Amino acid sequence: MGREREIHPPLEWMKLDNAAKIYPAITGSELTGVFRISIFLTSPVVLPALVKASEETALLFPFFSVELCKGFFWYYLEYNGNPPRILADSGPRCLPFPRTIKGELVYRILVRGNSISVEFFHILTDGGGAIFFLKTLLNHYFHNACGITDVPFPEVVDGPMPGSTDDLFTRHYEKGIPHPATLAGAWHLPYSLRPVPRFRVTEFEIPAENLAATSRAAGCTITEYLASTLLFLLQEIRLEKGKGSPHIRVQVPFDLRKRYEATTLRNFSLFAMPALDIRMGHYSFEEVIREVKLTIQMMTDEKRIRQVISRNVSGEKNALIRIIPLFIKSPVMRFLYNRFGPTQFTSTITNMGRVVPSGPAAEMMEAMSVTPPPPHSDIKITGGLITLGKNTIITFGSLTDNPELESKFVKQLTAAGLPVKLRGNA
Amino acid sequence: MSICKNCGVDLGEGNDKCPLCEPSDGIRNRVASPADIFRVSRIENSRNIYEIFMLILVSGVTITIAIDAVFGKGMSWSLITTTCIGYLIAMVSGIYLLRGKQYLVISVTATATILFLWLLDNFTGHHGWSRTVGLPMALSAALLTAAVIFLNSLSRYRGLNLLATIMVALALFTVIVEYLIDRLLMSAFKLQWSVVTAASLLIIAMIFIFIHYRLKRGRSLGRLFHI
């Protein structure tokens, strides 16, 4: 009972976590802050089983049944107890969540043919929380659709643990820690934007074992290998174009849950930012891998993490910032984000890791994909990847029609001996 | 097993209609895809704005009547404010509740305007101007608006040609206004300022029509003036 009380605290409202606070101010019809995780099954989705599974899962995640509301000083999440919408996956991906409809949640389930997708607004959770939700949903779905009691994801069978709603950023905040140094503006891809709706997605499939073997042979992890590939190609494009900032940086998000043994399902991740300064000369691929490895190692060091968390949370703790009304705070936050946010990096690549299903349902799942949120118009192209069983799917989300980066990325991987298959372009 | 032809999901035993692609709820609130949510959002938005507007207007009527009753010991000047606010309520409600039915909106707003002018005339001494000037002016404005909407509906691309049609209608309206005012004040009609205004408007309309059909080849206003 004690645990139940802790998991289901008096659900009336929740503060936005520290990472989420910026999203209501900066997001809109194009920069939506919405990401998607999809699973592709081997047979068509049984709709009544999915509807039942979504209702059962929503009961386990009451803190997801919330809507975004405007307070006088901050936005907040108000509990409404509604189940998520299940919609036909027929339009563009990662559309924003309307804020004017009363009772509208900030996540949804989409279905089409063999695929089930969940789309989350980043104010609610990050990729780690979304995967936890999707795994729970699939456990219930396979039970309802095929009567499978040997659930494919036993690690989430107990549902969310105590502490699922904690904002761990504020808990790990320490006063008086010096802020990390401010970075010089990074170079941005010079491509022109597509007409509205701008967001375009391209997916590639790679055998997970081959990718792991290639990364191992290069002496790094899959994340480091793909981040190095992206950084190396951005360097090539920057040198071809010949002008712009000499700093090329790739944002690589990393999950903090394992490090802090955290059970929170709210945002709890930070970024490493491997960088190249082309004034130092051309970097070979091996040199790029070394830079990426060192930077990720350094940025995931506990002291560095504490420093970044303290920098991020200090603004929220500032008494002056707290008492400024939201109608002033929001435009200021938007201005500051546009001035200091996307200027810091060139692109992003996020690895959601490996999902390993077990039991008879494992055979019924073919692949998974992650669609990163539509990028800022300065960034233009971002990437994400996730591995399910034997398949890794890399997804590029782009605001431009120019496929140069994606095509160079695939060529680089095939040149390294990896078989890359185009899965879809939407 | 029946599979939805549209979204490809298995509908389960005994179901032949896909609840995702053919939801059973009302058409206006039908949500089949994320994009549909925004249509519903727009409907809810306009309803909220309408309700707030009505609340403000009804509060205005109540407050003015209360002040007049307490300090003026009856209803005198508050009759005029109430009529004005009542006219606003009729106009806003007509436009909001009959949206999409353009000719009906014109009929209702024209009727409300004529009634409003007649009431104002009565409250301010019954000089008869509402019959001689107000009624024909409101009717001609309604007829010209209907004509603009009709001509606009015939056009394939609505760009500067729409502005040109509005200019022509305004030109005609200025002549009508001068005619009605002349008749009221001097009992004789002599074309003066309205000819200059109408001629200027017609020249601008011709330039717009030329640009629309010759230079921009039917480019829409949305594209031309998008922000």
Q: Where are the domains of chain A?
A: 2-171
Q: How many CB atoms lie within 10 A of CB A112?
A: 21
pLDDT tens column, A300-335: 998 999 999 998 898 888 888 888 888 999 999 999
ipTM, interface predicted TM-score of the complex: 0.73
Contacts of B40 in chain A (CB under 8 A): 98, 101
Binary contact (B34, A110; C-beta < 8 A): yes
The answer to which of A138-142, A185-189, A232-236, B185-189 has the lowest mean pLDDT is B185-189
pLDDT tens column, A17-64: 999 999 999 998 889 999 999 999 999 999 999 999 999 999 999 999
Q: How many CB atoms lie within 10 A of CB A247?
A: 19
Q: Cα–chain-centroid distance for residue A317?
A: 25
Segment A221-226 mean pLDDT: 95
Please say whether the beta carbons of A165 and A8 come within 8 A: no
> Which phi and psi angles does A185 have, rounded to 5°?
-60, 140
For a pLDDT cut of 90, what percent of chain B falls above it?
48
**What pLDDT is attached to residue A287?**
95
Q: What is the CA radius of gyration of chain A?
A: 21
**What pLDDT is attached to residue A246?**
94
The residue with greater pLDDT, A282 or B5, is A282
pLDDT tens column, B136-177: 999 999 999 999 999 988 887 777 888 999 999 999 999 999
Could you tell me the two tokens for A112? 């089409």
Q: How far is B102 from chain A (nearest CA, A)?
A: 27
Chain B interface, mutation test: which of A50, A70, A89, A117, most B Cβ atoms within 10 Å? A89
Binary contact (B35, A91; C-beta < 8 A): yes
Binary contact (A101, B11; C-beta < 8 A): no
Residue A358 pLDDT > 80: yes
Q: How far is A100 from chain B (nearest CA, A)?
A: 6
Q: How far is B148 from chain A (nearest CA, A)?
A: 31
**What pLDDT is attached to residue B111?**
95
CATH number of A2-171: 3.30.559.10
**What pLDDT is attached to residue A237?**
94
Please say whether the beta carbons of A12 and A78 come within 8 A: yes
Q: Cα–chain-centroid distance for residue B205?
A: 22
Please say whether the beta carbons of A39 and A365 come within 8 A: yes
Beta strands at A391-398 and A34-41: parallel, antiparallel or unpaired:
unpaired
Contacts of A89 in chain B (CB under 8 A): 7, 33
Contacts of A47 in chain B (CB under 8 A): 4, 9-12, 15, 18-20
* CB-based burial, A148-186: b 16+ in 10 Å, e otherwise: beebbbeebeeebeeebbbbbbeebbeeeeeeeeeeebb
Please say whether the beta carbons of B3 and A44 come within 8 A: yes
Binary contact (A88, B35; C-beta < 8 A): no
For a pLDDT cut of 70, what percent of chain A falls above it?
97
Chain A residues near any Cβ of chain B (below 8 Å): 43-50, 85-92, 95, 97-98, 100-102, 104, 108, 110-114, 119
The answer to which of A127-131, A251-255, A403-407, B35-39 has the lowest mean pLDDT is B35-39
Residues forming a β-bridge with A208: none
Q: Which of B9, B45, B48 sits opposite A111 (nearest CB)?
A: B9
pLDDT tens column, A257-277: 988 888 999 999 999 999 999
**What pLDDT is attached to residue B51?**
93
Q: Which of B7, B11, B37 sits opposite A90 (nearest CB)?
A: B7
Instruction: Using CB atoms within 10 Å of the CB of residue B71, give its burial: 0 to 12 exposed, 13 to 18 middle, 19+ buried.
Output: exposed
**What pLDDT is attached to residue A182?**
84
Binary contact (B8, A113; C-beta < 8 A): yes
Residue A6 pLDDT > 50: no
Segment B6-28 mean pLDDT: 74
Chain B interface, mutation test: which of A43, A85, A90, most B Cβ atoms within 10 Å? A90
Instruction: Using CB atoms within 10 Å of the CB of residue B212, give its burial: 0 to 12 exposed, 13 to 18 middle, 19+ buried.
Output: buried
- How far, in Å, are A214, A224, A282, A292, B21 from residue A219 at the CA level? 9, 9, 21, 12, 50
Residues counted in chain B: 227
The residue with greater pLDDT, A29 or A360, is A360
Residue A9 pLDDT > 60: no
Residue B21 pLDDT > 70: yes
Amino acid at B72: G
pLDDT tens column, B43-77: 878 888 999 999 999 999 999 999 999 988 788 88
Contacts of B226 in chain A (CB under 8 A): none
Contacts of A113 in chain B (CB under 8 A): 7-9
A381: closest CA among A192, A241, A245?
A192
Name the one residue in this structure whose structure tokens are 């999409």.
B100
Chain B interface, mutation test: which of A41, A45, A100, most B Cβ atoms within 10 Å? A100
